[in-house]
Chain A
Amino acid sequence: AQTVTQSQPEMSVQEAETVTLSCTYDTSESDYYLFWYKQPPSRQMILVIRQEAYKQQNATENRFSVNFQKAAKSFSLKISDSQLGDAAMYFCAYRSAVQGIQGAQKLVFGQGTRLTINP
């Protein structure tokens, strides 16, 4: 079974600065997807960024980028120029890319990191 671990329960950063959230995972599969989701107090889980394991290039979405280290099974999220609206719970998640399996869309989530932005 796959597991996802986020070792930082809470992080804080000054507005406009950069912060990195850590995530490690365990799997025996070679092909999979990794995600970072943001969950503000409104509760809706919002996709921040997605990485395909077969791609060596790290994914980037505006101020959000990842550092994907497949051999180390590490997947960190870097938020640049932090804004007050970035304050939320951030979850790292794993999904298998094996074709034809039951529960193909099952996401395995970490425990989350609460990010606070200080003005």
Chain B
Amino acid sequence: DAGVTQSPTHLIKTRGQQVTLRCSPISGHKSVSWYQQVLGQGPQFIFQYYEKEERGRGNFPDRFSARQFPNYSSELNVNALLLGDSALYLCASSLWSGNNQPQHFGDGTRLSIL
């Protein structure tokens, strides 16, 4: 079975642009979470979505938004890109939204801002 898939693998943007990152969860998984991992640091929680509704939000500005589709895939959008948005963006999925559910991570999207 396919794991969590993220696209694109690597993306280069310039300051002020907008970007959309995509995540397909493991088949049957209904909960998706997004994390930002700046180089040399641990991942930081951005969003959790379950059944197409936002179930949690981390301490990120409103330039960051996300949504989940009926097939449970998800998109992360970042507007007005800043140099500090350069990071690895990780997606994780699980069957349900509960905190006892194991999460499975994708390989991430490396976003570089010039």
A101 contact set on B, CB distance < 8 A = 99
Tell me if B44 counts as interface (CB < 8 A to partner A): yes
Interface string of A100-111 (1 = CB under 8 A from B): 011111111111
Report the Cα distance A105→B47, complex, angstroms. Answer: 10
Whether B42 pairs with A111 at a CB distance below 8 angstroms is yes
Interface size of A by CB at 8 A reads 28
Contact B99 A97 (CB under 8 A): yes
* Residue interface mask B74-98, A partner, CB < 8 A = 1: 0000000000000010101010011
Partner of A105, one of B31, B42, B108: B31
Closest to A91 in B: B42
Flag whether A51 is at the interface (Cβ < 8 A): no
Q: How many A-B residue pairs have CB under 8 A?
A: 80
Decide: B103 and A107 in contact? CB cutoff 8 A. Answer: yes
Residues on B with beta carbons closer than 8 Å to the beta carbon of A50 = 102
Q: Give, as a whole number of angstroms, the nearest-CB distance from B75 to chain A.
A: 18
Q: When chains A and B are docked, how far (Å) is the Cα of A41 from the Cα of B107? A: 10
Minimum CB–CB distance from B46 to chain A (whole Å) comes to 10
Q: Which residue of B lies closest to A110 (CB)?
A: B42
What's the Cα separation between A109 and B110 when bound, in Å?
Answer: 19
Which of A43, A45, A50, A105 has the largest number of chain B CB atoms within 10 A?
A105
Most buried by B among A44, A91, A98: A44
Q: A43-B88, A44-B106, A96-B99 are in contact. Are A104 and B45 (CB under 8 A)?
A: no
B56 interface residue (CB < 8 Å to A): yes
- Are A44 and B42 closer than 8 Å at their CB atoms? no
Chain A residues, CB < 8 A from B92: 45, 105
B-side contacts of A110, CB under 8 Å:
42
Question: Known interface pairs A45-B90, A102-B55, A103-B58. Does A109 touch B102 (Cβ–Cβ under 8 Å)?
Answer: no
What's the nearest-Cβ distance from chain B to residue A42, in Å? 7
Instruction: Enumerate chain B interface residues (CB-CB to A < 8 A).
Output: 31, 33, 35, 40-45, 48, 55-58, 88, 90, 92, 94, 97-103, 105-108, 110
Residues of A within 8 A of B (CB): 4, 33, 42-47, 50, 91, 93, 95-99, 101-112
